[in-house]
A and B are shown apart, each in its own frame.
Chain A
Amino acid sequence: MDQFIQQFLTGLSIGSILLLVAIGLSIIYGAMGIINLAHGEFVMLGAYTAWFLQVQFGMGLLTSLVPIFILVAAFGWLIERFVLSFLNNRPLDTILATWGVGIMLQQAVRLTAGGELRYVKMPEILSNSADVLGVQISLYRIFLLAASLVLFAATWLLMNRTTVGMKLRAIIQDRSVAASFGVNARRIYGLTFAYGAGLAGLAGALVSPLKSVSPEMGTGYVIDAFMVVVLGGVQSLVGTVASAFVLGELSGVIAFLQNDTVAKATVLLAIVVLIRFRPQGMFATRVRA
């Protein structure tokens, strides 16, 4: 029984990390329809910002979360304003452009911050482990789970309960009609992209105490993030959450019973099969065509 609870909590933890990384993409790719291959690099930028604030100003991870969000979001806004906004409705060019941006970011970080792995300190109060239902689990992992759910709730509220969210949804449904009602599509797109980028940055900062920080760290995360969003259903936020936790539990269990190599392969295979028979993903939002 203990082992079962342990494994269940592990799955939740893996899922929460997937959710953290995927939630920004779920806005940018899911809602705005931009295939952003630089998403992983936004995650990486967040981790490096955390490292930079820690080394330069001695800021702890928790206090630097807000500045990290603002900095990476501002950077995302610049990318949207000066690169992507010129590529509206040109998905192939967008893929190439974001890929190029990603490579440039990697090399820029390598040139400025150096190529070696960087260290981000775990907050002191969260560095122990706690007893949950009779099993030991890291406090920091519990914190990540909570953080991912809070960010999800904030995003859901933003999309569904604010005017910005309503305008965004209007633009997604029909840009020209929304524009004729006086919605400034350009501005909303910029803000939304910035928000998604900021979330990615937060994800990078939050996972950095458990993982390593290097210029290439984003490459792995971007794949995970796309897997989660595609499996969950591209336009569904709830789908993203469900799919993150399903993938987390699945890979956790398979990794426990077999090993991580098998888990990775099986999970990918399962996604391919599912997409073959249900291309819209687990949760499809109905959109009037």
Chain B
Amino acid sequence: MKLTRRQLIRNTAAFGAFASAGFPHIWIKNADLASAAAGEIKVGVLFSLTGTTAIIEESLNKATLLAIEEINASGGIKGMKIVPVVEDPASDPATFADKARKLVVGDKCVSVFGSYTSASRKAVLPVFERQHNLYWYPTLYEGRECSKNVIYTGAVPNQQQDEFIPWLINKFGKKFYLIGSNYIYPKEENNYCKKLLQKYGGEVVAEEYVPLGHSEFSSVINKFKSTQPNVIFSTVVGDSVVALHRQYHAAGLDPEKMPMASLTTSENEVAAMGGEAAAGHFTSAPYFMVYKSPENEKFVAAYKKRWGADKVTHFVSEACYFQIHLFKQAVEKLAVSDITPPNIRDAVKGQETLAPQGKVRIEPDNLHTWLWPKIAQAQSDGQFKILVQAKDWLKPLPYAAYPGQVCSEKGLVVQN
């Protein structure tokens, strides 16, 4: 078939007209941006319900749904219901990215609440940045990230360590044994820990990483015995925490002389290792289940009523809970036609809410959260006893370990 010039022009013009009409986002910027519609606000809930990290993410899913149900029961947001779209990313980063794309592009959710591990957050990041959507991340993490499409409601290293390290040196001594699981989070936390140790005259006797999921700690415990540190600074995660504590206890070591100081041991892990193995060790976090405040009593009671009396709340599930309330406050500030992810992001800057841990606030510069550091000691009944409470809330500094780098409203600024 011979193609004449006239036919070519005609076909091209027809195709062009079709394309610009059929795919309006070619010429209208942000036309396909997710927004609220028909009296309901769709949000994604992206926590693993199967796979290795389901152990903890199940509780995050539950805290998120609880907060959404509470808000809907009290009239929703401006009369609109929050509709959660729950997906199970099965503890696999690639599946996280797939499900995130589905929630953002397919379901047109205006925000997604999700992730426990840093690996899964990094995997979904490109989706949210490309689609101009918003991801709410409740977990304490290693910092060193400055995305404009993520609201970080967990602690960063300075919020867990600034008070903790000098307190430990003061109380137990200068020699620290750093033990962590072998991935980015423990390495960045230790990186910051070493800076603080240098500042306060502490000393690192050993720094060691075990494989993720590792459960045989007898050689590590032999090294505790031979190096005799004053403090074992632990960033071991997941079921390894349980194995480490139980084997430490079985080996007859004494937490009064050589306590483990952890950033990752919560009520959840303590329940699994048993009170006798947990007792005497320390954790630094913004929230503990025993914390006394009217908001927390309400949260714990509601959680147990909804999900079972034997369930515990912990420092990540608390953030899951209050970040929904921050979302509500931000959306309330917007006109119904303006409920889009970028507007929600701008509206949440500087928002404050009374969380179970105390009043928290989203820092406008870096979208991280002002939190209340606390130091607590695990007791044999499986709960913590809070020993130190910060007098003031602490500003989040995601680049605290990197002098000269600051996360600002414009993005990451590197000063020389």
Contacts and interface: CB of A to CB of B under 8 A. Distances in A.
Given A13-B218, A212-B272, A260-B220, A116 B210 contact: no
Given A116-B55, A116-B58, A119-B274, A212 B226 contact: no
A210 B272 CA distance: 11
Contacts of A117: 55, 239, 242, 268-269, 271-272
21 contacts: A7-B219, A10-B218, A14-B219, A115-B58, A116-B272, A117-B268, A117-B271, A129-B251, A138-B247, A140-B250, A141-B218, A210-B247, A211-B215, A211-B243, A212-B239, A212-B272, A216-B52, A253-B219, A259-B209, A261-B182, A261-B209
B211 A261 contact: yes
Interface stretch (A27-35, A59-67, A120-128, A280-288): A120-128
B274 A6 contact: no
Interface in B348-406: none
B250 A116 contact: no
B251 A119 contact: no
B243 to A, nearest CB: 5
Interface size class of chain B, counting residues whose CB lies under 8 Å from the partner chain: 35 or more
A17 B216 contact: yes
B273 interface: yes
Interface in B228-255: 239, 242-243, 246-247, 249-252
A139 to B, nearest CB: 8
A3 interface: yes
Contact of A211 (B219, B242, B268, B276): B242
A129 B252 contact: yes
Given A119-B272, A129-B252, A260-B214, A209 B246 contact: yes
B31 to A, nearest CB: 41
By CB atoms of chain A within 10 A, which of B54, B208, B222, B223 has the most? Answer: B222
B216 A212 contact: no
Contacts of B272: 116-119, 212-213
B342 interface: no
A256 interface: yes
A122 B250 contact: yes
Interface string B47-62: 0011110110011000
Contacts, number: 116
B271 A260 contact: no
Given A114-B58, A119-B272, 14 more contacts: A14-B216, A110-B54, A116-B55, A117-B239, A117-B268, A138-B247, A138-B251, A139-B250, A209-B250, A210-B247, A212-B243, A214-B55, A216-B52, A260-B220
A110 B222 contact: no
B84 interface: no
Contacts of A186: none
Contacts of B51: 216
Nearest to A9: B218
B76 interface: no
B219 A260 contact: yes
Contacts of B250: 122, 127, 129, 138-141, 209-210
A182 interface: no
A255 interface: yes
Contacts of B218: 10, 13-14, 141, 252
A252 B211 contact: no
A220 B55 contact: no
Interface in A96-133: 107, 110, 114-119, 121-122, 127-129
